[in-house]
Structure 1
Amino acid sequence: MTFYDLNFIQKTFIHYAKENTRSDPNNSDQIPSSPNQIKMAKELTKQLKEIGLDAYFNDKSCFAIGHLTSNVSDKVTPIGFFSHMDTADFNAVNIQPHVHKNYDGGRVALDKEAGIFLDPKEFPALKSCQGETLITSDGHTLLGVDDKAGIVGILGMLKYLVAHPKVEHGDIYVGFGPDEEIGYGGKRFDPKDFPNVELAYTLENGRPGDFEYETFNATLAKIHIHGTVVHPGEAYGLMVNATTLMNKFLDQMPADEVPEKSKGHDGYYMVVNSSSCVDHADIDIIIRDFDWDKYLAKEQFIKDLVAKLNKKYGADRFKLTLRREYENIYNVIKDHPYVVNLALDAYKKAGIKPNVKTFRGGTDGNFITQKGIPTPNLFNGGGNYHGRYEYVTVEQIDKLSKVLTTICKEHLYQTRHGRDNTPLKKYW
């Protein structure tokens, strides 16, 4: 049974999916990093107004902000929802969504002549989409499910509440932001755009029922190595080859604490870039862990390794810069169990079984949580994010709209009858 207007969901998703809003990591000092995000933000602002919200475009942060006014006299704290407009680092030029009605559960030809297929043998989660209206790319671009499915889920919820004024709710704020994929959208969000909002949710990835209130703690370590260049014919006892020192550093990194050997609640180190010549070398390493003490220990390991190698090869051969990128939202959310329990209670009332997971990455919620609004992550209903095999179904975006509506209703209900502040369980 569907919750809202599936034609609206399909039409709106395809419209926004076609817009190339890929963020640009090489232009991160600009807000936003790519100009089409401004166009989409202004378009969303207009659509929010047409739905019936107070809405505006914040040109300093490039957020489209909407406010649906409470329709009750109760003093209920405002609630918020976030989705991002930008797409990931994959081809987003000339996106051509393909609609497969009543998907039969089999292999889908994205481009038969090019041999590009979406196959449930390779992607088993596709089986859950059988009988639904499946949307894919043409196999040559991403689709933009992350996070345009989240945007459409929010719009569906808002249209439903405006069309059904007897459904009671408090104040609702929504924010559609830029540059989440390059880690800048949430950093630039202005909390003044969400006045008095007590709690919020992002809609990053995930199948219906997925829910995350723990993310990585994240640091970027940059190591610069200084060599000494001497003509190789006269190098004995004088040359210090930065490439050799770089290899010695990498050889001492933990071989098993890497992404390809990590899962669940495991943390890792990942060398994301290395370059060298005799004169100098540079290494970029990302550090990730859920556990705060283990995370600090990983940072300390890098510090100690640099100190050890400087002691052996000469002071200042290795220069380290550590930049903390974001903190685990659980560090804050553990003291605000209501934001988690509210969502879990709403899932159950919406007839969706909760699937609590750890988010092996970060979201805008990491930065928004640090700004005083606890913000765990729900789902957007898609799959195979960030590449040519992305997909989503109209029905699963519809489920998202239902969950968001139920959260708003449940927040009012628990305000009236008592909050679910059950202490959080660790699911890991």
Structure 2
Amino acid sequence: MKAFERLIHYTSFDTMSSEDSESCPSTPGQLVLADALAEEMKSLGFSDVRRDDSGYVYGTLPANCETAAPVIGLIAHMDTSEAAPGAGIKPRIVKNYGGGDIVLNREKNIVMRAQDYRNLSDYVGDDLIVTDGTTLLGADDKAGVAEILTAVEELNKNHTPHGAIAVAFTPDEEIGRGADHFDVEGFGADFAYTVDGGTLGELEYENFNAAGAVVTVHGVSVHPGDAKNRMRSAAQFAMEFHSMLPAAETPEHTEGYEGFYHLTRISGDAEEAELRYIIRDHDRNQFESRKETVRRIADYLNDKYGVGTFELSLTDSYYNMKQEIEKHPEIIERAERAMKEAGVTPRAVAIRGGTDGARLSFMGLPCPNLPTGGQNFHGRFEFIPIQAMDKIVEILVHLVKTDS
């Protein structure tokens, strides 16, 4: 089975994670896919396959070589983002893409316009898997799952020599919990790679430091006809809080190593309102400064409107893995060598986001990130070239193979 065929099959599983859930996994659909993957791994010759109560799937492909080799881990996540609908996905293939706009849904007039998605021009002549424009595709990260298992199938079919390969599929990565219950010791890898990136050739071992902020605002609701000097609108106070953050330091105004504050959700009324943010920066000192800015705003507004008007909860999610990965340059060199052997030019790129590998690197498992080939993640215009998926499979084979 080809990697793209696996991906198309996996898109039939609704595995959107939910930040509002406190269970693990956060949604039951992830367990359904986890069980299916466990069975698939058994059919591919994995040993010690297990799906735990939290939805993590583990297994080891035994070594078939005489050469002493490290145990290499390969990891991908099963869940999809809440940013776009993830149920009822209808993937289709645009064969030999000729350039220009792609009509995703004629009935609803949904068009992926080349002027809006200029990365499309890089894939003229490729076969693109797209959606019908009403859901995301889920290549983030079901493409990674598909590529890992297809690489294993290729190893088996060609009797390619390799050391032991530890594979894990995780839940809830999209809501920052993918490493919460990861069994590093039981996984048994000396080092690992997440297959969870984007463009073919990108090799990622720098990422944002990340935190989440929840601002709860308490007000006093009074009938608007009799509200003068009495109403204390939590919704208005929330707007004031947001207005005090730097207007240009948002995702749509930043790039590269520039950090940001991102308002992900706002809700409420006069009685109570809530703001949810993610805070990101590659530089640890600037990251801490950003959190302090949020604290100072809350303190200032509590002084202005009364203690307890604003409640702030700040939670660190993950840190920049660079400081851990740089201790193990050989695993970066291995990935670069594998890409070159597959005819791909490697490019070190800083992630404007994070992966399970960021947290795992601080848990004692060095874990840089490899690409999947996907584009426009977390949206209805997500797509992935089949040719890129095939190259990722080839890279993974080169990554784990031994001389004999």
TM-score in terms of structure 1 length: 0.86
Q: In the alignment, what sits opposite 1:216?
A: 208
In the alignment, which residue of structure 1 is the partner of 2:315? 323
| Equivalent of residue 124 in structure 2, options 125, 130, 139 | 130
Which residue in the other structure is 2:23 paired with? 30
Cα separation, partners in 2 of 1:314 and 1:117, compared to 1, 3 Å: closer
1:271 to partner: Cα distance: 2.5
- Aligned-pair RMSD on alpha carbons? 2.6
Query: Which entry has the higher C-alpha Rg, 1 or 2?
Result: 1
- 1:337 aligns with one of 305, 329, 349: 329
Number of the residue aligned with 1:79: 72
- Residue among 32, 46, 49 paired with 1:56: 49
State the shift of 1:74 in Å: 3.6
Secondary structure of the residue aligned to 2:5 is helix
107-116 vs 285-294, greater mean Cα deviation = 107-116
Change (3 A) 1:314 1:23: closer
Query: Does the 8 Å CA contact 1:187/1:368 hold for their aligned counterparts?
Result: no
Residue 32 of structure 2 is aligned to residue 11 of structure 1 = no
Provide the rounded CA distance (Å) in 2 between the counterparts of 1:41 and 1:251. 43
Give the corresponding residue for 1:421. none
Q: Is residue 2:197 matched to residue 1:199?
A: no
Query: 1:426 matched to which residue of 2?
Result: none
> Contact 1:134/1:394 (CA < 8 Å) preserved in 2?
yes
Secondary structure of the residue aligned to 1:24 is coil
Give CA-to-partner distance per residue, 1:145-184, whole Å, 9 cap, x none: 111211111112101111222x322111111222222222
Check 1:237–1:332 CA distance in 2 against 1; reply closer, same or farther (3 A cut): same
Q: 1:96: Cα distance to partner?
A: 2.1
Deviation at 1:119, TM superposition (A): 3.8
Task: Give the 3-state SS of the residue equivalent to 1:352 in structure 2.
Answer: coil
Residue pairs, 1:75-154, within 5 angstroms = 75-89=68-82, 90-154=84-148
Q: Distance in 1 between matches of 2:384 and 2:29?
A: 23
Q: Which residue of 2 aligns with 1:422?
A: none
**What pairs with 1:25-424 in structure 2 (closer than 5 Å)?**
25-26=19-20, 28-89=21-82, 90-165=84-159, 167-195=160-188, 197-227=189-219, 240-409=232-401, 412=402
CA spacing shift, 1:245–1:36, aligned 2, 3 Å: closer
CA contact (8 A) 2:38 2:51 kept: no
**TM-score, structure 2 length as denominator?**
0.90
The one-character-per-residue Cα deviations of 1:204-251 (angstroms, maximum 9, x if unpaired) are 231110121111111122233344567889988776554454344333
Aligned length: 403
- C-alpha deviation, 1:376, in angstroms: 1.4
Contact kept in structure 2, 1:226 and 1:317, CA below 8 Å? yes
- Counterpart of 1:3 in structure 2 is none
Distance 2:223 2:7 in 1: 61
1:281-332 C-alpha deviation (Å, 9 max, x unpaired): 4332321111000001111122223333334444343332211111122232
Offset at residue 54 of structure 1 (A): 1.2
In percent, how many aligned pairs have the same letter?
A: 36
Q: Secondary structure in 2 aligned to 1:14?
A: helix
SS in 1 for 2:211: strand
- Bigger CA drift: 218-227 or 288-297? 218-227
Q: Distance in 2 between matches of 1:207 and 1:199?
A: 23
Deviation of the 1:8 alpha carbon: 2.7
* CA distance in structure 2 between the aligned counterparts of 1:114 and 1:309, rounded to whole angstroms: 46
User: How far apart in 1 are the matches of 2:193 and 2:264?
Assistant: 30
Q: 1:293 to 1:59 in 2, by over 3 A?
A: same
User: Aligned with 1:346: secondary structure?
Assistant: helix
Distance, in Å, in 1 between the alignment partners of 2:283 and 2:309 is 32
Q: 1:224 to 1:134 in 2, by over 3 A?
A: closer
Does the CA contact (< 8 Å) of 1:153 and 1:400 recur in 2? yes
1:186 is paired with a residue whose SS is: coil
Structure 1: tracts of 5 or more residues without a match: 1-6, 417-428
Cα deviation per residue 1:110-131 (whole Å; 9 max; x = unaligned)? 2223222334343232233333
Judge conservation of contact 1:205–1:383 (CA < 8 Å) in 2.
Answer: no
SS of 1:43 mapped into structure 2: helix
Greater shift in the superposed pair: 393-402 or 231-240? 231-240
- The alpha carbon displacement at 1:87 in A equals 1.8
Supply the distance in 2 between the matched residues of 1:137 and 1:237 (Cα, whole angstroms).
53
- Structure 1 window deviating more from structure 2 (102-111 vs 209-218): it is 102-111
Q: Which runs of 5+ in 2 are unaligned?
A: none
